[in-house]
Amino acid sequence: MKKRSLLLCPPAYFSVKYKINPWMNPAVPVKSSLAQKQWQSLVDACNNLSSSVNFINPAPNQPDMVFAANGFFSIGKKAVLARFRYKERQGETKFYKKWLDYHGYEVIDPNPIKYEGEGDTLLTGDMILQGYGFRSDKESAKIIAAAFPDKKVIPLRLVDERFYHLDICCLPINKNLIYFYEKTFDKESADAIKSHFKKAVAISDEEALSFALNSLIFEQTVITNKNANQFTERVSKDGLKTITLDMSEFIKAGGSVKCLANEIWS
């Protein structure tokens, strides 16, 4: 595996004030101090697994900025910046751009194409899986392929709006193993997943709905949501360890472990 550090955004302004995915309900309040604790438990777990963790300042009026995975996708010093689908999140782009500029990245701006960073882009070995259909436009795969010509980009179309980002329905471990929620891919995309990985495991509805796949991988350890019981059993049979964290407050916004961390690939 390539070297990787993480970028997270503290949940100082996190809340559910609008509804841009089926999980969000502004009538159900987020418990801010619990969200802060849950986020800190993720930071601690990443530190314990010896990951280098960096932070970007949160911005007032950008309650979803805590989902740092969505801000961009990068390998080395090249980054493709997010251009969010909904106006509610569009203001985040300038903060991520500022962070990338400050840290010396070459920044590719996909505008006017919509693109939501690592929410829809997953790097695994020499492959990049690129989701589209709800948030990122289909054309984003071409932008990613042009930016990272030594990678094989596999476009994957999402069709169930509860799984509006690739990182909640697809978890590649390495070229030998991927977990995915088959029903949310069109046939061609599900077949593409099956043909590119030695073992492609279709998980159950219950696992998918527990945000099991929105996880972070550290060598042989998977950090996942506490309620993903069936999934933790499954991955332990595949020889992986799990750390489970309660992510209840972030699930109210339609996100969990992986969405909170942008993986910075060196």
Which residues form the catalytic set?
165, 259
Does the protein bind ligand ARG through residue 69 (CB under 6 A)? yes
Residue labelled with tokens 């993480």: 6
Does the protein bind ligand ARG through residue 257 (CB under 6 A)? no
- Encoded one letter per residue, x for contact with ligand ARG by CB under 6 A and - for no contact, window 215-244 reads ------------------------------
Does the protein bind ligand ARG through residue 20 (CB under 6 A)? yes
DSSP at 83: B
DSSP at 82: P
Contact 66, 16 (CB under 8 A): no
- Encoded one letter per residue, x for contact with ligand ARG by CB under 6 A and - for no contact, window 79-98 reads ----------x---------
Instruction: In angstroms, give the least distance from the CB of 35 to ligand ARG.
Output: 13
Residue 214, helix vs strand vs coil: coil
Q: How many CA atoms lie within 13 A of 1 on its CB side?
A: 15
Does the protein bind ligand ARG through residue 259 (CB under 6 A)? yes
Maximum distance among all Cα pairs of the chain, rounded to whole angstroms: 46
Burial of 210 (0-12, 13-18, 19+ CB in 10 A): buried
Residue 239, helix vs strand vs coil: coil
Among the listed ranges 19-27, 52-60, 145-153, 197-205, the one in contact with ligand ARG (CB under 6 A) is 19-27
Among the listed ranges 17-25, 46-54, 124-132, 175-183, the one in contact with ligand ARG (CB under 6 A) is 17-25
Q: Residues 83, 97, 114, 165: which binds ligand ARG (CB under 6 A)?
A: 165
The H or E element that residue 31 is part of is none
Between 10 and 194, whose beta carbon lies closer to ligand ARG?
Answer: 10
Instruction: Tell me how far apart the alpha carbons of residues 67 and 100 are, in angstroms, rounded to a whole number.
Output: 16
Residues within window 107-126 making contact with ligand ARG, judged by CB under 6 A: 119
Q: Residues 70, 74, 93, 124: which binds ligand ARG (CB under 6 A)?
A: 70
Contact 156, 175 (CB under 8 A): no
User: Residue 225: which residues within 8 A CB-CB, separation 6 or more?
Assistant: 210, 211, 212, 214, 215, 244, 245, 246, 247, 251, 256, 257
Does the protein bind ligand ARG through residue 255 (CB under 6 A)? yes
Instruction: In angstroms, give the least distance from the CB of 136 to ligand ARG.
Output: 11
Does the protein bind ligand ARG through residue 254 (CB under 6 A)? yes
Instruction: In angstroms, give the least distance from the CB of 141 to ligand ARG.
Output: 17
Instruction: Tell me how far apart the alpha carbons of residues 94 and 99 are, in angstroms, rounded to a whole number.
Output: 9
Among the listed ranges 100-108, 141-149, 241-249, 251-259, the one in contact with ligand ARG (CB under 6 A) is 251-259
Instruction: In angstroms, give the least distance from the CB of 149 to ligand ARG.
Output: 25
Instruction: In angstroms, give the least distance from the CB of 161 to ligand ARG.
Output: 11
The H or E element that residue 217 is part of is strand 216-218
Instruction: Tell me how far apart the alpha carbons of residues 206 and 228 are, in angstroms, rounded to a whole number.
Output: 8
**Interface positions with ligand ARG (CB under 6 A):** 20-21, 24, 64, 67, 69-70, 89, 119, 165, 167-168, 253-255, 259
